[in-house]
Every structure is written in structure tokens, then in C-alpha cells.
Amino acid sequence: MIRIASALLGLSMAVLLAACIPQPSSSKLHDGPRRTIENKGSDTLVNLALAWAEIYMERHPDVRISVTGGGSGTGIAAMINGTVSIANASREMTPVEIAAARANGVEPEEYVVARDAIAVIVNSSNPVDGLTLQQISDIYTGKITNWRELGGEDRPIVLLSRESNSGTYIYFLEHVIRQGESRRDLLFSPDTLLMPSSEGITTEVRQNPNAIGYDGLGYVTPDLKVIAVAKDSQSPFVLPSVRTVNDGSYPVARPLYMYTAGKPVGHVEHFLTWVRGDGQRLTSRLGFVPLSNASESGESE
């Protein structure tokens, strides 16, 4: 597992340069002399998107790419409103968002750009090694409140989650807490502490021996303990990794997306083609899972 925070050091200058470029009007996002790509959304994807932007700008100095986070919902809203070229999302657009886009004259185009495992993490001193999906659901809904109930020490469980505008929050709610059953109305316990970023969760887990959190695998550092997850009490406990995502044995994995307002053209289309081709070589370096069907023939010049 790779410490993604270190990647920001090599990318900060590229981000500063991109941020200083005057922003084009929404009507000129796909063409014009500046050839600027505005890329906004998922905090899970932001560091991978920064890496893609840095390499692509090195190879295409006439293009400037500005990358910012803020959450999947924020990026999708900006795409619908015509203020970004590409929205990053760690979940699919909802029917409500698609309807809002169409009402605004926008037909969203969806591109899967990588895959990710959501790791369940605890403090390194925590003796608990594995949990079933049902146990994780019971923890986050407040049914289980003490680590002693799970074979740990007699300590209260401190719940950490991303905020509700995060695609990771929505995915975790639907696929872990509700275990994919849309009719279930389970919610996060009101005692859950909502953190503004992936780094906020890892920082708190690192400092708090009672905490449990979840994060994209690329944000997990070696000083955190990753919990092995089982689909049910009869299934094996599996740790998240590129291999276990690819073979389907890790039960909490998902695609990551980029959305555009209509079919992309020009430099935006070229950038997306590169991301899904040669750009995939960066994904595993940053703790993500490359597309299994990624072409090695994507343009690199």
C-alpha cells in the first residue's frame, strides 16, 4: 500500500501553476487558445487526478489542467452547471442528478477511469483483525458500541465517516451499511463523526485507539491497521489489495468515474483517452487498481 500523501509533494507546483491560469467561461471549456481543462470532484480521486494532470501537462505543454476536490456531489453539480470540463466521482450519478442535468440541457457521459477498494481501518494498537460486513453495519448503525463485543478491549467504539457529499459516504451507506439492499432504511449512527477529507479520517484513526474509519485504499498508510473483511460468517476474511479487487474476493470495491457534459471533444477527449490508456500505468503506483481492459496503445505523446 502506498502512501499517497507523499505524491502531493511532486504535484504541488503543477497545481499552483494550473490554479493561477485565468478560468475560461463555461461556453469555452472545450476549445479556445488557453486549452484549459477544469477537473473537480471526488476527494478519493483527487490525488490520482493530480498525478494524471502533471504527467499529461509535461507531455502536452499547450494544455493546462486544474484539479480540485470537494466531493463527488460538488464535482457533478459543477459539471451540470457548465463550470468544469470533467467531474470526478467515486460513485455513479444518481437519477436525480441525471434528471437535473437533462433539465439543464446536459447529457452526461460516464467514463470508468480506475477501480478502488474501500479499506476499513483502525488504530495500530487495536487487536481486532477481521470483521464481517454485518458486523461493520452493526457498528456504524450503533448496534455494536464496544470493541469488547468483537473480541477487542473494553473500549467504546468511535465512529468516523466522510461527509454526506462524498461519493465514498454514499457507497459505504448503500453497499456496507445496507449491504446492497435498497429497501433497507438503515442510516449512520448519529454518534458518527463526519470528517471533511480522507486525510482527516486517517489522522484521527492514527491518534485514537478507539476509532474505526473507512477510506480509499490509496490513502492508507503503513502505520494504520487494515481490517480483513468477510462477506458473511461463512466466508473468508480478505484484506484489500490490487489482487483481491481484481479477483473479486474483497467485498468492498468499486469503480471510479469521470463525467463530462456531453461527448468530449478536442483536448478534453484526448486527455480522457490518455487517462484510460497509458495513464493507467500510474494507478497502481498510487494505491488504486488499473482498468483490466486498459489499452497499452493509448497516446503518450
- Interatomic CA distance for residues 149 and 274, integer angstroms: 49
In percent, the amount of the chain with pLDDT more than 90 equals 78
Closest CA to 98 of 88, 106, 87, 90: 106
Q: Which residues, 6+ apart, have CB-to-CB distance to 14 below 8 Å?
A: 50, 53, 54, 57
CB 41 within 8 A of CB 78: yes
What b/e sequence results for 68-91 when a residue is b if at least 16 CB atoms lie within 10 Å of its CB, and e otherwise? bbbbbbbbbbbbbeeebbbbbbbb
- pLDDT recorded at residue 282: 93
Residue 14 pLDDT: 40
pLDDT by residue, tens only, the chain of 301 residues: 444 444 443 444 343 334 433 343 333 344 445 589 999 999 999 999 999 999 999 999 999 999 999 999 999 999 999 999 999 999 999 999 999 999 999 999 999 999 999 999 999 999 999 999 999 999 999 999 999 999 999 999 999 999 998 999 999 999 999 998 878 899 999 999 999 888 999 999 999 999 999 999 988 999 999 999 999 999 999 999 989 998 999 999 999 999 999 999 999 999 999 999 999 999 988 989 999 755 433 344 4
- Residues 242/253, Cβ–Cβ less than 8 Å: no
Do strands 64-68 and 36-41 pair parallel, antiparallel, or not at all (unpaired)?
parallel
Positive or negative, the Cα torsion across 6, 12, 18, 20?
A: positive
Other CB atoms within 10 Å distance of the CB of residue 181: 10
State the pTM of this model: 0.78
Structural domains in the chain, sorted by start: 4-116+256-286 (3.40.190.10), 117-253 (3.40.190.10)
